[in-house]
Amino acid sequence: VSELVLTLRQPAQIGDRSREDFVLATMEYLPGSVVRGAFAAAWLARHGVPAKQSAQRAEFIRLFEGEVRFGSLLPAGTQPPSLSVISHKYEPLEGCDEVEFDRAMTDDVPLRCPNPDCDSPLEQSRDLRGERPRLRRRASVSIHESGVARRGVLFTRETLPEDLAFAGTVAGDPALLGSLAALREVRVGGRRTTHGLAAVTIKAGSAPPALQRRADGMLVLRLSSPGIFVDQQGRPSREPTPEELERLLGVPARVVRRWTRWQQAGGWHIASGLPKPTELAVAPGSTYLISSEQAVADQTITALGQHGVGLRRHEGFGDLAPPPQLSPGRREREAEQVRLRGLRDSVAALSGVRLNWPDRRPAMWRALSGHAAGDQAATAALRREAADPPDARVGAALTAVLNMTPADAAYVVGELNRR
């Protein structure tokens, strides 16, 4: 599995449908189906339409009709929507213990914020989570599908700004991914002569999100892209059947709760160039609580992240999402303050170095600052300082810094430099 990054070189408009309020909207992320279509178009522009039975056609089919899985690409700093999460409808107050609840992880969640001063309703959001990209909005003259201006009608066109980078996973044979990287640029979304040019980067990536295990052994399945499921009779379904779950998990399992909504899923059969019939899909952010009769192996859970769920997976459907990071309420903010105080206390002995061992300080501080910035040579130097400290308390403090996460180490070094 590799990480795919598309960086816009022009503004882009990723539209799935026209709205009736005279806004030509853009999606804020790139669904896997859009990514796959962009690469297929770029491949055809580079190589031409391949002849039947040719090696090029064989590669085209492998790339776009089965062997490569294109995941959703999200703007940096965002997370997929989560339909199991409910958030404050109005701005939360300082005193609200919790700001958001994840119904997939907590069984008893209130309908309104329990803080009596606040009492905000809690509601589901369908949007991307985190810092959403800032869209550009411009008024234009209305254009029909045919390209003819409708006199006097203004509408607003939304676009994603250039330089915005989208990242996600792409899975497939390394040689195939090499063919995609070699294209270097693709065009995403509409108005392709002036919009949507994006630079392609493919690099080694970490394992894609998998299922989440609850403390009681139940599993949580979250989708980052639309998902297409059918029941035993082949009719659209909001959830995977017990049969599909057993095939994926290796043990009998069923959905016990779900948070979903319907949306339409179109698409193209790329090899033939024909549109596919529109199907019903569940929206990105759909979430399922799954009960299994026996424990599911860790390996199986990891493999499911790479495989995805439901139908038409190679077109970008049925990709899994990581657990949502909930906005911290008062309780979590206070717990974080306590934790940070503990980190500061664990390195308090270093404050005495300046007075007691002034000749040791410059090298020690260079090592600390470099380590905090991720410099591996500085980390090695810090290990040497920790192995030969001026006293035991300073040694313990240096070891504590070495054992911290990079973010925590950067925090304590910053705090030491402020004193």
By the criterion CB under 5 A, which residues form the site for Zn ion? 92, 96, 113, 115, 118, 120
Q: Are 228 and 319 in contact (CB under 8 A)?
A: no
CB of 324 to Zn ion, least distance (A): 18
CB of 119 to Zn ion, least distance (A): 7
87 versus 179: smaller Cβ distance to Zn ion? 87
Comparing CA positions, the residue from 321, 368, 350 lying closest to residue 71 is 321
CB of 88 to Zn ion, least distance (A): 5
299, amino acid identity: Q
CB of 102 to Zn ion, least distance (A): 16
Please name the residue that has the structure tokens 């509409």: 190
92 versus 305: smaller Cβ distance to Zn ion? 92
3-state SS record for 351-390? HHHHHHCCCCHHHHHHHHHHHHCCCHHHHHHHHHHHHCCC
CB of 86 to Zn ion, least distance (A): 12
Comparing CA positions, the residue from 345, 364, 346, 344 lying closest to residue 354 is 364
List Cα–Cα distances, 399 to 229, 346, 360, 372, 413, in angstroms: 52, 10, 16, 13, 13
89 versus 137: smaller Cβ distance to Zn ion? 89
120 versus 156: smaller Cβ distance to Zn ion? 120
Q: Are 223 and 316 in contact (CB under 8 A)?
A: no
Q: Which residues of 354-385 are buried (b: 16+ CB within 10 A; e: fewer)?
A: eeeeeebeeebbebbbbbbeeeeebbebbeeb
CB of 287 to Zn ion, least distance (A): 23
116 versus 362: smaller Cβ distance to Zn ion? 116
Q: Are 22 and 154 in contact (CB under 8 A)?
A: yes
92 versus 172: smaller Cβ distance to Zn ion? 92
